[in-house]
Amino acid sequence: MSGLPAIETFDCEGEPCVEGPKKKRAMLLHSGGLPLQKIYHSIPGAHVDEPQDDNDVFFVAVQKLDEYFKPK
């Protein structure tokens, strides 16, 4: 999990958005907590460092988590 970028200190007076797919992925996993992080890292192909087929790393992470949690 050390490959994820660190979460920046929250600035109450700053811009209220997260920019960049890697930061979005890091925020998603941070907000989901350790259980979500363990699931994420156990899914083959979920963690990518570079975009694949015009899909950014955040989109790939969300897509893989959606597939994992989709009712079977």
In 3D space, the residue among 1, 63, 70 whose CA is nearest the CA of residue 33 turns out to be 1
28-48 burial, b for 16+ CB within 10 Å, e for fewer?
Answer: bbeeeeeeeeebbeeeeebbe
For residue 32, the model assigns a pLDDT of 94
The answer to whether residue 1 scores a pLDDT higher than 60 is no
Chain mean pLDDT for the chain:
86
Residue 12: inside a domain: no
Residue 27: inside a domain: yes
pLDDT 10s digits, 27-49: 899 999 999 999 999 999 999 88
Residue 59: inside a domain: yes
Specify the number of domains making up the chain: 1
Other CB atoms within 10 A of residue 62 CB: 16
Range of the domain at 65: 21-69
In 3D space, the residue among 44, 71, 47 whose CA is nearest the CA of residue 61 turns out to be 47
As a whole number, mean pLDDT of residues 4-15 equals 70
For residue 16, the model assigns a pLDDT of 67
Residue 2: inside a domain: no
Residue 6: inside a domain: no
Residue 3: inside a domain: no
